[in-house]
Structure 1
Amino acid sequence: MISRREFVRKIALAACVAPALAPFDARADNAANATNAVPTLLWLRRGSEERQIDYSTAEGYRAVSWLMRDVKANVVGNPDWRLLQQWSWMQAWLAAYGHHARFDVHSGLRTPATNTYFEGKRASFHLPDRNMVFRAGDFSTPAAPSEYMGRLAYLSQQGGVGFYQTRDFIHTDVRGRVVTWRAR
């Protein structure tokens, strides 16, 4: 784990180029195909666990996977690299404007049983594929309103963005096709 000071330094360096970035390549399926212009740092919290993580390392990727696990079923999956890029890009964008934003993870991977319990949609991008890769996450941040974060996620042009206003979080997924919806 990197120190808070080192994390803030790296985010600040990455944020210097963030406003000039065009939306990153939606075809990058893994770290090997990812562009170097996108920062690989995330500041996440799930319950009482909070970490600042460089997910480009094996240890960092495992830490992110753990924080985005299905808590109800205690199952760990593999977050799609593009989802992590989108979230780190959003954090770098905010950092470029002086807002260092921790993301509070509400949901990442969901097993079919957990997904049925919470929403029941069979085509959810929270569900893992045969390689345990999931392509969606729900989060909120104390640094910015959910409406703003949803609009920022839409700006990345990576996939679905759901606005959950009464529950004050957003959903992002990397399905490729850009769609938005609003729910209570």
Structure 2
Amino acid sequence: MITRREFCKAFAASAAIAPLVKPAQASNQAGQAVPTLLWVRRGADEAKVDYSTDEGFRAICWMLRDVRAGVVGTPSWSLLQQWSWMQAWLAAYGTHARFDIHSGLRTKATNDYYEGALASYHLPDSNMVFRAGDFSSPSVSSEYMGRLAFLSQQGGVGFYTRNFTHTDVRGRVVFWRSK
């Protein structure tokens, strides 16, 4: 596992050169496109999924379903990109982190059962698209995962004492800690 100091140094260096590199050049220089691979587990199901393929996208939709209600929705593409970016960042430094999914889509009934937040990004819109997920990783602490998610500047990050991380892609960057 990389240290916090190494992580901050690498992030500062990449942030410093980011304005100088066009996105197309960045992916060409890296020798590959934006990562679309996720290593996830939900219950007994575990898979490495390339969500850029039809089969992979169906698989990740299934993994992020509302298990309690038996409903499958569509995760926001931005949420999937955030998670794959996080895994790629960690892998670049030698840590291959599986995401153990706690929740993705939640129907209103499931959301009311667990927390009842009226504006939860787990709730689907009229097109069944949801914008939040909760996960933990056996190889990386939830604190570190939350800090990494916060660096992506995609939206909300929740730090929970039960050792899982919430991320959503609301656009506005916020964070909170459970009591």
Amino acid at match of 1:50: E
Structure 2 counterpart of 1:108: 104
Q: CA RMSD in A?
A: 1.4
CA shift digits 1:51-92 (9 cap, x unpaired): 000000111001000000000000000000000000000000
TM-score scaled by length of structure 2: 0.82
Instruction: Report matched runs for 1:1-184 at 5 Å.
Output: 20=14, 37-165=33-161, 167-184=162-179
Q: Which runs of 4+ in 1 moved over 2 A?
A: 19-22
**Bigger Rg over Cα:** 2
Aligned-partner Cα distance in 2 for 1:144–1:100: 9
Which secondary structure does the structure 2 equivalent of 1:84 belong to?
helix
Aligned-partner Cα distance in 2 for 1:20–1:67: 32
Structure 1 counterpart of 2:24: none
Amino acid at match of 1:103: F
Aligned-partner Cα distance in 2 for 1:61–1:120: 28
Aligned-partner Cα distance in 2 for 1:183–1:38: 32
Name the % identity.
Answer: 73
Aligned-partner Cα distance in 1 for 2:87–2:57: 17
Aligned-partner Cα distance in 2 for 1:148–1:39: 20
**Runs of at least 5 residues in structure 2 that lack an aligned partner in the other structure:** 1-12, 19-31
> Which has more helix, going by share of residues?
2
Aligned-partner Cα distance in 2 for 1:169–1:139: 5
CA shift digits 1:20-48 (9 cap, x unpaired): 485xxxxxxxxxxxxx8420000000000
**Runs of at least 5 residues in structure 1 that lack an aligned partner in the other structure:** 1-18, 23-35
Which secondary structure does the structure 1 equivalent of 2:113 belong to?
helix
Counting matched residue pairs gives: 152
| Bigger relative CO (Cα 8 Å, ≥ 6 apart) | 1
Aligned-partner Cα distance in 1 for 2:133–2:51: 16
